[in-house]
Amino acid sequence: MGLLRVLLLRLATTAVTLAGVAVIVFFVIRVVPGNPIAMMLPPGATDADIAQLTALYGLDKPIWQQFVIWLSGVLQGDFGTSITTRQPVLGLVLGRLPATLELSIMALVMAVVMGGLAALWGTKRRGTRVEGAIDVANGMALSVPDFLWGLVLILLFGVLVPVFHISGRVTPSLDLPFTTNFYLFESLLRLRFDLWADIVSHMFMPALALAIPLAAIIGQLLKQSLKETMHLDYVTLARTKGYGETHVILREALRNAVLPTLTLVGVQFTFLIGGTVIIERLFSYEGLGNMAIDAVINRDLPLIQGIVILFAVIFTGVNLVVDLLYAALNPRLRHA
Amino acid sequence: MSFLSVRNLSARVKGGPALLRRVSLDVAAGEVRGLVGESGAGKSMIGKAVLGILPNAVQVTGGEIWLDGVDLLALPVAERRRRIGAMAALIPQDPLTALNPSRRIGGQITDRLVDILGWARARAEARALELLAEVQIADPARVMRAYPHELSGGMRQRILIASAFAAEPKLIVADEPTTALDVTVQKQILKLIAGMQAKHGTALLFVTHDLGVVSKVCQRLSVLYGGMVVEDAAVRDFFAAPRHAYSAALLAATPKYTDPMASLTPVPEAVIAAVQAEVAAYDGGAHG
Amino acid sequence: MLDGRGQVKRRAGLRLWLSAGWLGLLVIVAVFAPWIAPKDPLAQDLFLGRLPPFWVNGAEPGYLLGTDSLGRDVLSRIIFGARIALAVALVAGTVTCVIGAMLGLMAGFLRGWVDLVISRLIDIWMAFPPVLFSILLIAVLGPGLMSIIIAIVVIDWTRFARVVRAEAMAQGAMDYVASARVVGRGRVGTMWREILPNVLPTIVVLLTLEMGIAVIVEAILSFVNLSIATDDPTWGGMIAEGRTSVYQAWWVLVFPLVTLFLTVLAFSQLGEGLKDRFDPVLR
């Protein structure tokens, strides 16, 4: 038992899940009506031109052969060539990934900070009007999905009090010295705080929209589990030692209360990443999700496949990390 | 004046029944007082009130708790906690739940010394090691680094005792400290507490339902029924001749260590009815 | 304000009635839309484009909430949009519920290979980003009301299956199930007669929440312009148009957004309110 076993077990189920995703993505997409090849060629192309290009993309072979070719390519890191841009899918996808990752991580940090503070404050003031107000706010935030929060934020901070940018990732006229696509991190490393501020101002609202529902979940769960912990004997014992309520919550209760919350937050974080698809569209943010919607509209099969697989890898990866983190934080598992 | 003096303490469940009815008791410096009664008699509530850890749903409705000449109930919460933390300590009932599962033992013994009393960490750790040895733990250095789940229930209770004595408090509340343990371990722990108390000269408020334990450890005792003190006596006098009918019945219902096979008499219904009438009369008087 | 455990009491009744009231109003508006709507939701009039709502200077009487860039009446479009939203909520919600709950019930109670297959499918489904999955399905199925419903069912059955499976497993471990088996009821009979009634409150709560989700999915798909024929009035389509002209005509975005917001909130609060009502079963 222990970390290694947990890791191996989870890796095995992850592999099965990813294989299932690959099969479904491949076959669902083959049903798409409309000939993508015909759309690539200029009007007036001959049947021979179409046949030649179809052969080039391997679309003339039986579907199971296409699957084998595609899957063996994927396993070697070859996701094929995008039909619309005629560039390798892997490069396109990896080029957009940093934007989406930065957005998701910023949203996660915001959610943890907001939800954590709400839970701690609500626990400290349990049984008072403050807790009641926090419960109502959490309930509201939880009931309404990120898409609607995004629109509300656009109206509030884009139109009514225009303090943040409502579209794009960075002001287009700016000169960008970056070598990677991790603009947020690289601008910090290069000490270009002017660029950093511009990027944050673009990311703030989409990240907040993604963060609000997750913050509510964290706030609710953590508060509930903190309140349960606050009744336990070791917490009472700490009070007799002379500690104030804030210290008792932070040092005695928090760590044990975080564990049950953590697993659920992991699943919820994958929902958050899934939410980037529509939020990026809403805020015209140049990430994976926005690219995915364009790919669907343009019937760019190889690109769609690549993006969906990448999302699936991220999702299962997050769940894997959460499970390991849970095992690592739980002293009973760590020393067993 | 006594080191701990509880005067006319009353408490109730918020919007519910009374739990304590004008309870008064004193513990002199270095004295051991037993607090006995059936479950629900309010004996644990008194210990919790003294240490300022009453549940949120319980509300003190009157009285005073004087600790070293200061009325705790007149202090603001934060100051009350610091004062209690510096002068008093708790030996809890269940050693399995009274240690934080995610913190190492060492930190749970030294935290009060460092944070509340302002000791240097090295001095606090040396003190903790010394105390662990004193409560007869074999490998104190290893235990300091251990997590609670790695230790047995008896070990954990010894650690909690060491932790209670660590800051040399003037008063310790022991809340049924042997109830949750195996019978074989109970005797050792009892002996340990009595030995530590004698050595450190700490006043002890010993909450228990077991008169046998009281006869061994305590000098004075208070008998509770329905949140009222029905008898307050020296242990020797009490066992010779209890004054209250309920106390006498309780004593008759307790097995004798000298003669455990002697037949036991349950508390007679008439005595219960009489003492319940006393409580009711008190409540009537309080409301009238 | 406080109960015996020191918890803040919630006024569950109020939010239950408010949400039910709003949804009831929507149903009436949707059913009687042709009689209630002041204008034809499709009628364009370029001379009356981007008229503000009635209390703003420059408003035209008869167009209470203003018009969009093509001169279509915003209020009438919201009213007719309620028909599509509620139709999707009702049909997609119910079908998803029946299929997902069935699979969850089978997995949780029958266990064995049935559970193995269904659980693995749920795992695979959880690895898809749902919005992208739905957009993809619409691209495959082609736009239209039917496609939206199918997409929602295909994607969201796991919501029911996951919860019902866990619940059925918990119920299956209880004594009353064993005694039903002892009395001689078959496995499938036990599932229908003993387990299903006990997980029903959970299913009802999930169904209510799912209806809210269906409304949102429809709006998202309309927003991405993949839902219904572009002319038809959908709240999502109106929001998409409003988003592009938010600086010139905020009302085109605000009114459908507020309607959608309240509707989603109402479904969710109704679900939460019901959950509190069923308290002993759910907690």
- pLDDT tens per residue, range C192-228: 877 888 888 889 989 999 999 999 998 898 888 776 6
Q: What is the pLDDT of residue C131?
A: 87
Contact A237 B84 (CB under 8 A): no
* pLDDT classification of C282: cutoffs 50, 70, 90: very low
Closest chain A residue to the Cα of C241, Cα to Cα: A282
Please name the helix (run of DSSP H) or strand (run of DSSP E) that holds residue A110, with its range, or none.
helix A89-124
Q: What is the pLDDT of residue A336?
A: 43
Residues 6 or more apart from B119 whose CB is under 8 A from it?
Answer: B110, B113, B127
Contact C243 A151 (CB under 8 A): yes
Q: What is the pLDDT of residue C50?
A: 76
Domains of chain B listed by start with CATH number: 4-287 (3.40.50.300)
Q: What is the pLDDT of residue B262?
A: 63
* pLDDT classification of A103: cutoffs 50, 70, 90: very high
Number of residues assigned to chain A: 336
How far away is chain B from the Cα of C1, in angstroms, using its nearest Cα? 12
Return d(Cα A297, Cα C221) in angstroms, integer: 12
Beta bridge partners of A88: A81
Q: Which of B56, B78, B98 sits opposite A127 (nearest CB)?
A: B56
Instruction: Tell me, yes or no, if B263 comes closer than 8 A to chain C by beta carbon.
Output: no
HSE (CB half, 13 Å, CA atoms) of A31?
11
Q: Which of B78, B97, B150 sits opposite A233 (nearest CB)?
A: B97
Return d(Cα A102, Cα A122) in angstroms, integer: 30
DSSP per-residue string spanning A156-221: IIIIIS--S--SSSS-TTSPP--SSS-HHHHHHHTT-HHHHHHHHHHHHHHHHHHHHHHHHHHHHH
* pLDDT classification of A36: cutoffs 50, 70, 90: low
Helix axes A89-124, A301-329, angle to 10 degrees: 40
Token reading at B216: 């061994």
DSSP state of B9: E
Contact B102 A127 (CB under 8 A): no
Instruction: Tell me, yes or no, if A103 comes closer than 8 A to chain C by beta carbon.
Output: no
Identity of residue C33: A
Contact C224 A281 (CB under 8 A): yes
pLDDT above 70: percentage of residues in chain A: 93
Q: Which of residues 57-96 of A touch C (CB under 8 A)?
A: none
Partners of B57 on chain C (C-beta within 8 Å) are 4-6
Partners of B14 on chain C (C-beta within 8 Å) are 2, 4, 6
| CATH class of residue range C79-278 | mainly alpha
pLDDT above 80: residue A268 = yes
pLDDT above 80: residue C231 = no
Distances A287 to A78, A87, A89, A97, C54 between C-alpha atoms, Å: 21, 17, 14, 7, 40
Return d(Cα A52, Cα A8) in angstroms, integer: 46
- Domain residues of chain C, as ranges? 79-278
Three-point CA angle A81, A82, A87, nearest 5°: 70
Which has more confidence, B35 or C180?
B35
Closest chain A residue to the Cα of C217, Cα to Cα: A147
**Mean pLDDT across chain A, nearest whole number?**
86
Closest chain B residue to the Cα of A247, Cα to Cα: B115
Q: Which ipTM did the prediction report?
A: 0.85
Q: What is the pLDDT of residue C283?
A: 42
Q: What is the pLDDT of residue B288?
A: 35
Instruction: Tell me, yes or no, if C4 comes closer than 8 A to chain B by beta carbon.
Output: yes
Task: List the end-to-end C-alpha distance of chain A, in Å, as a whole number.
Answer: 7
Q: What is the pLDDT of residue B264?
A: 66
Q: What is the pLDDT of residue A172?
A: 85
Contact C128 A311 (CB under 8 A): yes
Order across the sheet with B32-36: list the strands: B88-91, B171-175, B203-207, B32-36, B220-225, B228-234
Which has more confidence, C144 or B122?
B122
Partners of C126 on chain A (C-beta within 8 Å) are 267, 270, 315
pLDDT tens-digit readout, A180-200: 888 888 888 888 888 899 999
Q: What is the pLDDT of residue C242?
A: 86
Domains of chain A listed by start with CATH number: 2-75 (no CATH), 93-334 (1.10.3720.10)
pLDDT above 50: residue A156 = yes
Contact C269 A297 (CB under 8 A): no
Closest chain A residue to the Cα of B112, Cα to Cα: A241
Closest chain C residue to the Cα of A313, Cα to Cα: C127
Q: What is the pLDDT of residue B129?
A: 94
| pLDDT tens sequence for chain B (288 residues) | 688 999 999 999 888 888 898 999 999 998 999 999 887 788 889 999 999 988 888 989 989 999 998 999 999 988 999 899 989 999 998 888 899 988 999 999 999 999 888 899 999 999 999 999 999 998 999 999 999 989 988 899 999 999 999 989 999 999 988 888 888 888 889 999 999 999 999 999 999 988 888 888 899 999 988 888 888 989 888 888 888 878 888 887 776 656 656 666 777 787 778 788 877 777 765 543
pLDDT above 90: residue C178 = no
pLDDT above 80: residue A43 = no
